[in-house]
Structure 1
Amino acid sequence: MDMLRELFSFQMNPWELVLRGSAIYWFLFVLFRFVLRRDVGSIGIADILLLVLIADASQNAMAGPYETVAEGMLLVGTIAGWNLLLDWASYRSKRLRAIVDPPPVVLVRRGRLILSTLRSQLITVPELMSKLREHGIEKLDEVKIARMESDGEVSVIRFPDKPEPAEAAPDQGQNARR
Structure 2
Amino acid sequence: MNLKDTNIIYLLSRITLVFIVLLLLTRILGKKQMSQLTFFNYITGITIGSIAANVVSESNQPFSDEFIGLIWWCVLTFLAGYIGLKSGKLRQIIDGQPTIVIKKGKIIRSALKSSRLNLDDLSMMLRKQNIFSIKEVEYAILEPNGDLSTLKKPENQQISKSDMNITTPIPKYLPSEIIADGKIIWHNLNELNLSEDWLNNQIKMQNISSSKDILYAELQSDGTLFIQKN
- What per-residue deviation string (whole Å, max 9, x for no partner) do you get for residues 124-173 of structure 1? 10110010011111111211110111111111111224589x89xxxxxx
**Which of the two has greater strand per residue?**
2
Partner SS state of residue 154, structure 2: coil
The reply to whether residue 82 of structure 1 matches residue 76 of structure 2 is yes
Q: Secondary structure at 1:132's aligned position in 2?
A: helix
**Alpha-carbon distance between aligned partners in 2 of 1:94 and 1:135, rounded to the nearest angstrom:** 29
Identity, % of aligned positions: 21
In 1: Cα distance, 2:107 partner to 2:90 partner = 30
* TM score, norm. by length of structure 1: 0.54
**TM-score, normalising length: structure 2:** 0.42
User: Moved runs in structure 1, 4+ residues, more than 6 A?
Assistant: none
Contact 1:143 / 1:159 at 8 angstroms: preserved in 2?
Answer: yes
- Determine if contact 1:111/1:144 at 8 Å carries over to the other structure: yes
SS of alignment partner, residue 155 of structure 1: strand
- Return the offset for 1:73: 0.9
Count residues with an aligned counterpart: 115
Residues 110 and 141 in structure 1, CA contact (< 8 A), matched pair in contact too: no
RMSD of aligned Cα (Å): 3.7
> Which residue number in structure 1 is paired with residue 91 of structure 2?
97
Q: Which moved more, 1:155-164 or 1:84-93?
A: 155-164
Gaps of 5+ in 1: 8-37, 60-65, 168-178
Larger relative contact order (C-alpha < 8 A, sep ≥ 6)?
1
- The 5-angstrom pairing of residues 117-136 of structure 1 reads 117-136=111-130
CA distance in 2, matches of 1:110, 1:134: 21
> Cα distance, 1:95 vs. partner?
2.3
